[in-house]
A and B are shown apart, each in its own frame.
Chain A
Amino acid sequence: MAELVGRSANVRLEGLQKVFGKDTLVVDIAEMLIPAGEFVTLLGPSGCGKTTTLKLIAGLERPTRGAIFFGDQRVTDVAPGSRDIAMVFQNYALYPHMTVQANLEYGLKKHHVARDERQRRITWASAVLQLEQLMQRKPRELSGGQQQRVALGRAMVREPKAFLLDEPLSNLDARLRLLMRAELIRLHHTIDTTMIYVTHDQVEAMSMSQRIAVMRDGRIQQYDRPEVIYRYPASRFVASFIGSPGINLYEGDLISRDGQLRFVRAGLEVPLTATILERLGEPQQTNVTLGIRPEDVLLHLDGGPPDAVVGRVTVVESLGPETIVTLETAFGEVTTRVRGMEAIEFDAQVPLSFDSARLHLFDATNGTSVLRPGASTMGTREYRTLAPA
Chain B
Amino acid sequence: MGSYRARAALRMGSIFTVTWLVVLIAVFPLFWALSTSLRDNPEIISRTPTLLPIDFTLSNYDTMLKLSNFPQQFSNSSIIAVGSSLSVVLFGSLGAYSLTRFRFRGQGLSLRVVLLTYLFPAVLLVVPMFIILRNLKLTDSYAALIIVHTATGLPLGLWLLRAYFQSIPIELDQAAMIDGASRLETLFDVLLPQAIPGMISIFIFIFVFSWGDYLWPLILITSRSQMTLPLGLHTYMNDMGFEWGPLMAATVVFALPVVLLFTFVQSRLVRGLGAGAGAVKF
Contact = CB atoms under 8 A, between A and B. Distances in A.
Contact of A95 (B177, B182, B185, B190): B190
Contacts of B182: 81
A259 to B, nearest CB: 63
B194 A81 contact: no
B180 A87 contact: no
Contact of A81 (B171, B181, B189): B181
Interface string A81-92: 110011101110
B181 to A, nearest CB: 5
Contact of B177 (A81, A94, A96): A81
Contacts of B190: 95
Contact of A60 (B174, B180, B181): B174
> Which of A58, A80, A85, A86 has the largest number of chain B CB atoms within 10 A?
A80
B180 A81 contact: yes
11 contacts: A58-B174, A59-B178, A81-B179, A81-B181, A81-B182, A90-B171, A93-B171, A94-B175, A95-B175, A95-B190, A97-B194
B179 A85 contact: no
Interface of A: 58-60, 79-82, 85-87, 89-91, 93-97, 106-107, 110-111, 154, 158
Contacts of A110: 179-181, 185
A96 B194 contact: yes
The bracket for how many chain B residues form the interface is 10 to 19
Nearest to B189: A106
A87 B179 CA distance: 9
Contacts of A158: 179
B172 interface: yes
A109 B175 CA distance: 14
A58 B178 contact: yes
Nearest to A112: B180
Interface in B224-282: none
Given A60-B174, A106-B189, A110-B185, A93 B169 contact: yes
B180 A93 contact: no
B2 interface: no
A82 B182 CA distance: 11
Given A95-B190, A97-B193, A86 B169 contact: no
What 9 A-B pairs have minimum CB-CB distances, sorted nearest first? Answer: A107-B179, A110-B180, A81-B180, A93-B171, A93-B175, A97-B193, A89-B171, A111-B180, A80-B177
Nearest to A81: B180
A93 B179 contact: no
Contacts of B175: 87, 89, 93-95, 154
Contacts of B172: 93, 95-96
Contact of A91 (B171, B178, B189, B193): B171
B177 A89 contact: no
